Amino acid sequence: MRSSILACLGLTAAALLTVSCAPTTTGGESADDAPLARQCFNVQQVNNFRQGRTDQVFLRVGRNEVYEMNGAACRDLDFANRLAILPDFGSSSRLCTSDWARVVVPGSASPTEVCRVRISRKLTAEEVAALPSAHRP
């Protein structure tokens, strides 16, 4: 009897956990409520970059796209003529918003520096136009 009560309690707890993790909808979801699709690029498409704040880098991808990366400040980044971006996971060269990567900056007076960054977002055309010219890649 005791084992059947424990089994019943275990099933009830499992059912409650399943229900508590289930997605809920209100039935009238708008486009604003839908999750944003991750936006991606290949690192080979990056053709320019500029440092914004100390922990911020803007990447020009292709002709018209600009992505923002945030993370630990890399020394010498504001003087760098080049950098390498290496995705943290897998052997793919594709990066998407919310992905983590490493930025490799060849040092001018110090050894090569590696910083960990996160691809935070793709800027809209209006956001790119609003960037200060010193931050616009």
From residue 136, how far is each of 19, 43, 89 by CA, in Å?
47, 18, 28
| Separation CA 119–CA 17 (nearest Å) | 33
What residue spans define the domains of the chain? Answer: 40-130
The pTM (predicted TM-score) of the whole model is: 0.69
pLDDT tens sequence for the chain (137 residues): 444 443 443 333 333 333 333 344 444 444 454 456 789 999 999 999 998 888 899 999 998 999 999 987 777 777 788 889 999 876 678 999 999 999 988 876 667 888 899 999 999 999 999 999 989 99
Contact status, residue 117 vs residue 57, Cβ threshold 8 Å: yes
Contact status, residue 117 vs residue 70, Cβ threshold 8 Å: yes
